[in-house]
Structure 1
């Protein structure tokens, strides 16, 4: 990329995940999403550089990353589907067990090895799914046996999409619909699904191995809860134009001691963590005046950035996750304007 402000993959992934909850993915095509992403990237970079209007990331530039955007968008969609099916809640329960099993190992170390909670947590998958993925050759398998295989959901999703594209299983008239071939039908026991319902078929094969009926019941319950919340909000006088900005749609997390010391808050959603870090950088004038993309780390910031003496506005994103120790109930966070 010739544009010096063009984000690296980690930063672009973060920006995609920020944008997804604000867009109706079911009715937004990849072209329209990429145009929205170009504006979002430009707006964020300008905001982080004192409103510098010379910074611009165009749709044409992002088109060169179209496959990456498609892949990350697919993962983001499945993550949203998992949350709507209550998958995140079950992950939180599993986190407690994980901590007990690895007592004495610092949480930071566990997370850096990919052992943290959430959708990146490695969980046991069914023998049937393990056999399919091994034969398909789309996911690196951790052992020779198909029994007791543990994989992260994100790896499963990316692997399945690699297989789907390789075998051209997307409906040409509706790219969001997947028409399963013989091997996938054998694994998932259905003729087709779409990118939104695909998560449920994956969940059946991932520990704790819920049945499809259980997943549908959980989704129905969550839908009713959302409808009840909307009705309550309407009664309390909240209009469509005055949305609740409590967490911006993002779940709050309990922060590490180092991050809490830097931001002065113990619980925050990720967008507020990022905003808080940038507020700290600007108030302490830590940007390199000759290269605004470069950040000099003082003692406090260095402890959050894995003891680095300097980072870039893009590389800093990869250090944030390990300081978001535990997802907490939304009631523990109150948004402050």
Structure 2
């Protein structure tokens, strides 16, 4: 390109009406103002959710913020709190073997009771999904234990798990000498796990509802292809109910890490802290020894553990949870 041509093009650009500096500036559209009807509806919205907001701020958010501050202090609820920084967290993580013992017991209980409860729930739901006589009665019977208060259930199981209780009598029929469930450090955690299976009916109802929602055409196509009941379960039923299994897994983990009433009523953490879990430990520290700062620190450490396992469960769910609207 010659110099004359370059000068001509430059002159054209300079005189062009579409230069960048001459382009109109783009303004951010203003949010439309609410009409009188819209303001009234917004007012009703805030009015209707105000009871929940007041309860959330007053009974959840406020105590949580206070607990964070208390965890950084040494306080016995009778004198003024003394700020100690992260000393309570350091003591729990490095200087308190009882905390690690309680954390291990909690891990063991959650790692065994949650999968066992899910397996029982899936098995019962699959049985109750069959077209058999009296299945409505059995469905009701399976769910009834979940309606019994937890304290009453624990008191009943205190008799069931006694050395001469019904469970050991049942084992005796098969020639097995039953252990002393609640007084033997080796068997006290399995005893609590046996108690946890009592509430499998809640998960069973949700899983049964998911099974009822599976289109019958899937099973008919599988039967035409020659798939048997076991193959149909693992290829159709199980993948279709994985979202409900995942929901029960998350709720089961959160509940297992916060186990309290069963331990407090049956063993109070004994024998020799063999059944002590984190929530009974912080309850003991707070209301037994009046170490409210240390108990708050333990509570927040448990919160971090629960959040960590919940995130881990969501990460692993990508590989085994199937959603109908998801394309892979």
- TM-score normalised by the shorter chain: which range applies? under 0.3
Kindly indicate which of the two structures has a greater share of residues assigned to strand.
1
Larger C-alpha radius of gyration, 1 or 2? 2
Which one scores higher on RCO, CA 8 angstroms, separation ≥ 6? 2
TM-score (norm 1): 0.27
TM-score (norm 2): 0.28
Kindly indicate which of the two structures has a greater share of residues assigned to helix.
2
